[in-house]
Every structure is written in structure tokens, then in C-alpha cells.
Structure 1
Amino acid sequence: MNEKVVHPDLVGRTIFLTGASGFIGSHLLKRLIKEGCEVHISVRNSSSLWRIEDVVDNCICHTIDLTDSDNVKSTLKKIKPDIIFHLAAYGVDYRQQNIHKAVDININASINLFEIFLENKGFRFLHTGSCFEYGHKDTPISEADLPNPRSVYGITKAATVQLLSLMSKQAQRGNLVILRPFGVFGEFESDYRFFPLVIDKLSRKLLLQMTGGEQVRDYIYVDDLIDAYIMASVVSLPNRVEIMNIGTGKGILLNEIALSIAKQLGANENLPQFGAIPYRPDEMMYLVANIEKAKGILGWKPKTSIEKGIENMIIWYKRKYAVCKYE
């Protein structure tokens, strides 16, 4: 993780972070600790803490069920956080298709947290939305585009945004920021995800079976996303509720990413087998963010090229798995 200048408006703030053991949440946790915050995190009995084992002693862990409103209320009444970062979710992994769990975790848990946040009169609530709230589009997506989700994950995420926005309006208080990340990549990603999968296969000289790789995606390096979270937690907002897309604003083909990884590894460019597997029936072929709103409100922009992000990932991968670049 890059060294960052401490943001003076965050020093000493009491933070409650959900999803801290996940890919994005672990990066955010480490950044918040560096920012001098008092960070409280929610964990489950089943949570794997491998991503945060080096910093877990620098935060306060609470084993709670976010879908249990009484459990959430008693915990947050004690903590009284200034800022809540809500990253816990179900369905990011496309294999997670249980509708009941999606409703419980994505909708009910979010309502529980925001309800207590409003009661406690906290400073700001940052909710993590998703680009999958939008559905199929053929041009860069702006926040003005109407949601048209096609998956359990996207539908429950979109519903949550509507409900939290309504709650804020009815309460006439509670600064609510919804960040909608597009593709995110970086160190500590789960092995099943695209970047780690490609790096793993090509590092070991294995054939990589892919679709044609003609899907256009907007991938932002995780450190740049964390910068957006930090800025969104402290800047003045034009409105009580703000929704912002977070990406690079540029699309790239998946097959180009695979070839870029192969090049950096010194791997044979014929190892990626494009077209070896079919596209999914509901495949989204274009998913790119319009990020002008976030740039304007946050004074933020992504800084890391996809090539540099891949280089960082490969270095981390080799360190983790002791896989050496082959000639």
C-alpha cells in the first residue's frame, strides 16, 4: 500500500467499518489506522482475518450479526461512531445467489446500521453501492442513468440505496454518501477473481481458458478507490445524499488485460486461450463509469495506471506464493 499524507479532518475520529476482512475493506482499514482514527470493525465468528492479521491489534473488533438490529443497536450505542463505512455485502462473488441472504445482508443490515446512525446523529455514513445497480449500458454510465439491475446482487444493492435515501429524507438529517465502485483490482484479491486467476495461471505456465475477452471493463486500482473513500468521508457535500461512481472513466478489454499480465510476467502470449469458454447468457459486454461527479465533488481522480497496478499485484503475488518469474 502506498504511503499517504494523514488527512487532518480524520485524525481522532471514531470510525465503524463493516466488511473489514474483505478485499476492499482490508485496504480501507489499514488506511484509516494510518490516518490516526479510532477504528472499530465488525466481524463474524466465521470471518477469516488473513488480510488484516498485521493490523488487527490496532483496531477494536466487535463480533456482531449485522442483520440483528438489537445487536447492532447495542454495539453502536456504545461506540457512537462519527463515521460509518459500510462495505459488508453478499453477492460480490457471482456464486452467491441466495436471495434470502442477499436481502438480509445487503438490505436489512444496511437499514439497521443507518437507523442507529441517524439516532446517534453521526457525522457521515458511507454506503458501498455497485456498478451492477445500473445493468446493461452501451456508453459510460453517469449517476443520472436509471438503475436497471439484472442480478440478485444488483437488485438488492439498488433497493438499499433507495431505502437509505428515503430514510435520510424522512429524518431530515444524516449525511449519506453512496459510492458505486466499478471494477476494482489489487493486492489481497480473492483467488477466484479475474486478475489473481490470470496471474496464477500464467505464472505457472498453464493454459488460461477464457471467453473471447471482448468485455469492456473499467478497472480501478484499489489504492485509488481508498483515496475516494477517504475524501468522501470529509469533504463538504452539495446535498444531504450524494451518489458517486468510482472508476477510471476508461474502458479496457479483458483480453488486453490478460495479454498485459502475460507481458509483465514474460509469459507466452499464446497461453491465454481466448474463446475457449462461452460468454454467460447475461454477460455485460460494456461497463464503464462516468466519474466527472466524483472528480468535481471530491477533488479526486485516479492516479494509478492499470500497468502499474498489475506490476504491484505481481510483486505481491510472488511474495505471497513464492512464485518466481520464469524465463
Structure 2
Amino acid sequence: MSTILLTGATGFLGSHLLESFIKQGLDVIVLKRTTSDTWRINHLLDKVKIYNIDKVDFKTVFSDEKVDVVINTVCSYGRTNESLIDIINSNLIFGLNLLNEAIKNNVQTFINTDSLLPRNLNDYSLSKAQFADWLSQRSEKIQVINFKIEQMYGPKDDTNKFLPWLMNEMIAKTDDINLTSGIQKRDFIYITDVVAAYDLVLQKTMSLPKWSQFDIGTNIFTEVKEFVLILAGEVEKLNKSKIAYKLKFGKIPYRKGDVMIPELDNTKLIGLGWKPKVTIIEGIQKILKD
């Protein structure tokens, strides 16, 4: 059984990964900050070993523990007015320090969480791409698996992301909900399907090369407008109130450089035996039941 060092365990993806690893009986070491909000994983804290990384350095963690696999899910999107330095520290410098210590201590595998956004779209995507460059360059010294994820969604997501924000607006019965025209397409993937990809690849590390990169997505591209209308329909059923007429498509412009349809190729992941299982309607229903 592998010992996993998990970063970002208090976040959306990290918390769902931790839940899955604990259910499988894996040994997990969690890195967090003393200021981290642990609401997503409070029920799991007594089942893992925790290091507060603002109190203990990486060198101490790796000298105290025999780590087989590092899984890095830490990121800063820059959505809450973080400075450029904060974004780079989270997405690049933190990862480089972690990678360097993992190599020094003969860790078998480093699994990273990356983005499918174009490299130069914004500070977030550039810093994530730069870290992926370093991972590829260092993969001769440690096995690296880089996951590039599309539009994942599910329960316990950050409220400043699009879907939770929109759902809250609908449930709060806001008068007008201003949106773009919504013709941009996204590959909406439910969080349990993302976790299943990590679980599968974790089981197959021994058969993978020193450098692997996988796109995680359903390969089904849905217009944002269609997704929003599906969500509105499910909320209407739940609350027995009309919502669709409040959706003002085209009232706000697209973000600069907004991607109209992402580039994604999930054939390598499919080839390993992974398959997405949750449809958009099923995923939305699951969130609304939580």
C-alpha cells in the first residue's frame, strides 16, 4: 500500500480525493496551513497525518515520513484579488519546492493537477503551464503524471466559481441574472469522474512511463447556455418557482480571451480503462440534493 502526500486537501478537488483515498484504506499525509478552512474534511481529520506547512518545512516532512506518491492539487486562480506574486508562489514556487524535496527523498511518483486553459490566457494558466514545463524537464529523476482538467463541478465547490454562484443566485430568487450569450462550449465533468481518473492512474503507475499527461474530460462539449437552462429547470422543479425568465443571456461581455471551445483529448485515459459515468442532469441533481 502506497503512502500518499496530498496537498490542497482542504480544497474542492483535494477533499474529494482524500475521501476516496480514505475509503480505499490508503495512508495519507495532508499538507495544509494553520489558517486553512477544513470544513470540507473535518470528518476525516482523525484518519490522516497532518503537517501545517507554514510551521514545518518540506525537508522535515520528508525526513519524518516515507512518501511513495505526491499528489499536488494546490492552486490559486487569482479570483479573489491575489497578487501576481501570490499566484506564482502557489502555482509554481510551492510546486517546485515540493518537487525538489520529493526527488531528494526518492519519491516514486509525482502527480500534478494542471489546467486545459491556453498557456497565455491569464496569470493562473501561465503559472500552471510553467510548472508543467519543469515537471516534464525533471521527469528523468521522478515519475511524473500531469492531469489537465476541464470544467469539473460537484458538491463542496468554491462559491466564487461559476456553477455555485449561479445556483445560489437561482435559489436566492435574484430578480435578474446577467450572463454572457452562453454560446461558448465546455466539457462539464462531475467530480466523482475526475476522482476516478486519479484512482485508476494511481493503480497503474508501475506500467506508465516516466512522463505521462492525461486530459480529464467527457469529450462531450455543451454550450454554457444549455447547461444553465438545464440547471434552471432542475432548480424550478425543486423550488416550484419560475427561474428561466430571469436569465439575461448576452447582458455581459465575454472575458478577454475567453475560450469558445476547449481542446481536449481523453483517448489516453479511456485507453487505461477510465470512462465518465455521470451525465450533466445527474450531476446537477446530485448537487441539488446535497
TM-score range (shorter-chain normalised) is: over 0.9
Corresponding residue for residue 183 of structure 1: 151
Determine if contact 1:182/1:288 at 8 Å carries over to the other structure.
Answer: no
Corresponding residue for residue 239 of structure 2: none
Cα distance in 1 between the residues matched to 2:191 and 2:263 = 16
Q: Check if 1:279 corresponds to 2:254.
A: yes
* 1:45-124 → structure 2 map (5 Å cutoff): 45-65=34-54, 71-91=57-77, 93-124=78-109
Cα distance in 2 between the residues matched to 1:100 and 1:189 = 25
CA shift digits 1:288-325 (9 cap, x unpaired): 522111111x3111111011000001111xxxxxxxxx
* 1:187-202 → structure 2 map (5 Å cutoff): 187-202=155-170
Superposition deviation, residue 268 in structure 1: 3.0
Cα distance in 1 between the residues matched to 2:12 and 2:159 = 11
| SS across alignment from 1:45 | coil
Corresponding residue for residue 247 of structure 1: 217
| SS across alignment from 1:55 | helix
CA shift digits 1:37-76 (9 cap, x unpaired): 11110111220011111111111111004xx9x8111112
Cα distance in 2 between the residues matched to 1:97 and 1:152 = 11
Question: What is the aligned counterpart of 2:178 among 204, 209, 219?
Answer: 209
Runs of 4 or more consecutive aligned structure 1 residues displaced over 3 Å after TM superposition: 93-97
Superposition deviation, residue 238 in structure 1: 4.0
Superposition deviation, residue 282 in structure 1: 2.3
Q: Check if 1:126 corresponds to 2:111.
A: yes
Q: Identify unmatched segments of 5+ residues in structure 1.
A: 1-11, 136-147, 317-327
Cα distance in 1 between the residues matched to 2:68 and 2:187 = 32
Determine if contact 1:19/1:42 at 8 Å carries over to the other structure.
Answer: yes
CA shift digits 1:170-201 (9 cap, x unpaired): x3xx2110001111100001112111122212
Corresponding residue for residue 155 of structure 1: 126
Superposition deviation, residue 163 in structure 1: 0.8
Corresponding residue for residue 27 of structure 1: 16
CA shift digits 1:128-171 (9 cap, x unpaired): 11112xx2xxxxxxxxxxxx4221111111111111221222x3
| SS across alignment from 1:51 | coil
Superposition deviation, residue 96 in structure 1: 4.6
Determine if contact 1:217/1:288 at 8 Å carries over to the other structure.
Answer: no
Cα distance in 2 between the residues matched to 1:22 and 1:57 = 18
Determine if contact 1:183/1:218 at 8 Å carries over to the other structure.
Answer: yes
Cα distance in 2 between the residues matched to 1:28 and 1:211 = 32
| Cα 1:196–1:31 shift into 2, 3 Å | same
Determine if contact 1:18/1:43 at 8 Å carries over to the other structure.
Answer: yes
Cα distance in 2 between the residues matched to 1:228 and 1:60 = 24
Corresponding residue for residue 41 of structure 1: 30
Cα distance in 1 between the residues matched to 2:194 and 2:251 = 32
Superposition deviation, residue 97 in structure 1: 4.9
CA shift digits 1:209-258 (9 cap, x unpaired): 11111111111100000000111112144421001100111111111111
Cα distance in 2 between the residues matched to 1:258 and 1:252 = 10
Cα distance in 2 between the residues matched to 1:226 and 1:271 = 34
CA shift digits 1:83-118 (9 cap, x unpaired): 111001122x53455221222221121111112222
Cα distance in 1 between the residues matched to 2:122 and 2:85 = 14
Question: What is the aligned counterpart of 1:310 among 278, 284, 290?
Answer: 284
Determine if contact 1:24/1:222 at 8 Å carries over to the other structure.
Answer: yes
Determine if contact 1:178/1:244 at 8 Å carries over to the other structure.
Answer: yes
| Cα 1:225–1:154 shift into 2, 3 Å | same
| SS across alignment from 1:212 | coil
Q: Check if 1:226 corresponds to 2:212.
A: no
* Equivalent position amino acid for 1:273 in 2: K
TM-score, with length taken from structure 1 = 0.82
* Equivalent position amino acid for 1:21 in 2: T
